[in-house]
Amino acid sequence: MTAIRVRELRKSYGDFPAVRDVSFEVAEGEIFALLGRNGAGKTTTVEILAGFQRADGGTVEVLGLDPYADRAAVRQRTGVMLQEAGFFPDLTVAQTVDVWRDFTAAPRPRDEALGLAGLEAKAGTRVRQLSGGEKRALDLALAVLGRPDVLFLDEPTSGMDPEARRRTWEVVLGLARQGTTVLLTTHYLEEAQHLASAMAVMDAGEIVAAGGMAETLSAQAGRVSFTLPPGVDPASLPLPVTFDGDGDGRRAVCRAADPDLAAQTLLTWAAGRGLRLAGLEVRTATLEDLFLDLAAASAKGGAR
């Protein structure tokens, strides 16, 4: 079953087209990552899906409903974590959860919500005294309070330390295992790769890449990197390389569809010449590689 359906969505702010003909679908129980640079249109898309903004064109459906026209019904079944949460700074964490529980049908018990977010020890702390990461955690506790069927998370782990981020990932994965559909935006590509089974990359309001995470990454070239031995002319290598700018600038990178085979070719070549390829690393493609390739393609195609 499709939980979220977006077709030819358009939204402008004045004359500025923030979202231009965006289409994608998220299956029930799936974690879907919406990625892209600052200003790509991700938050605008999430806000429309959560019913906070009205689309200018196209259609959006959440659980078969129009999130703007059927706001009340959609709100009952969705949880939302936007980039800026509107807390009351003088309430404690526990009081904040209690206030939200009053407005939520069949809410989780307070301690369960705080436990999910790792905030048990902060129950008596005033919201204004929380760190940035702890505020994000509180926002997560509130977003999942009503056991939503669909969860919208806009940069859920920004400002979190690695431990809090890992805990949040476990919470999100656990909810998805229980059938919750999750749409998240993030600038942490590792986060998207760890959590999401499908993704779309937006740029300047449009989708520029989309698909299943595993399929997309396996179609992407992997990399073999090594330190070029002194005195070796890169042109003499059996495969083309580029150079990473760090260190002494002699870290050679070979992009290849089959990085294991490329590594073998390079090692055989080096062995035949009595050379050592120091620090050889072989890895399959990551989301970061996809991003770098998209950025390079967009630079080649000229500024939009």
Ligand X SMILES: Nc1ncnc2c1ncn2[C@@H]1O[C@H](COP(=O)(O)OP(=O)(O)OP(=O)(O)O)[C@@H](O)[C@H]1O
Task: Provide the minimum distance between the beta carbon of 49 and ligand X in the complex, in angstroms, as a whole number.
Answer: 12
Task: Provide the minimum distance between the beta carbon of 111 and ligand X in the complex, in angstroms, as a whole number.
Answer: 33
Q: What are phi and psi of 9, to 5 degrees?
A: -70, 135
Q: Which is nearer to ligand X, 105 or 303 (CB)?
A: 303
- Cα separation values, 163 from 62, 64, 160, Å: 32, 36, 8
Chosen residue from 8, 27, 39, 288 binding ligand X by CB under 6 A:
39
User: Using CB under 6 A, which residues numbered 16 to 35 contact ligand X?
Assistant: 16, 18
Q: Which is nearer to ligand X, 40 or 195 (CB)?
A: 40
Task: Provide the minimum distance between the beta carbon of 118 and ligand X in the complex, in angstroms, as a whole number.
Answer: 24
Q: Which is nearer to ligand X, 39 or 89 (CB)?
A: 39
Alpha-carbon distance of 166 to 118, in angstroms, equals 11
User: Using CB under 6 A, which residues numbered 101 to 160 contact ligand X?
Assistant: none
Chosen residue from 6, 9, 22, 42 binding ligand X by CB under 6 A:
42
Chosen residue from 9, 40, 153, 176 binding ligand X by CB under 6 A:
40
Nearest to 201 by CA among 63, 92, 55, 40: 40
Which residue in this structure is represented by tokens 């938050």? 43
- Cα separation values, 61 from 5, 8, 200, Å: 5, 12, 17
CB-based contacts of 34: which residues, under 8 Å, 6+ apart? 42, 45, 46, 183, 184, 185, 199, 200, 202
Record the tokens describing residue 180, joined without a space. 């919750």
Q: Which is nearer to ligand X, 149 or 191 (CB)?
A: 191
Record the tokens describing residue 207, joined without a space. 């989708």
Task: Provide the minimum distance between the beta carbon of 77 and ligand X in the complex, in angstroms, as a whole number.
Answer: 24
Task: Provide the minimum distance between the beta carbon of 11 and ligand X in the complex, in angstroms, as a whole number.
Answer: 8
**Which positions lie near ligand X, rule CB under 6 A?**
13, 16, 18, 36, 38-44
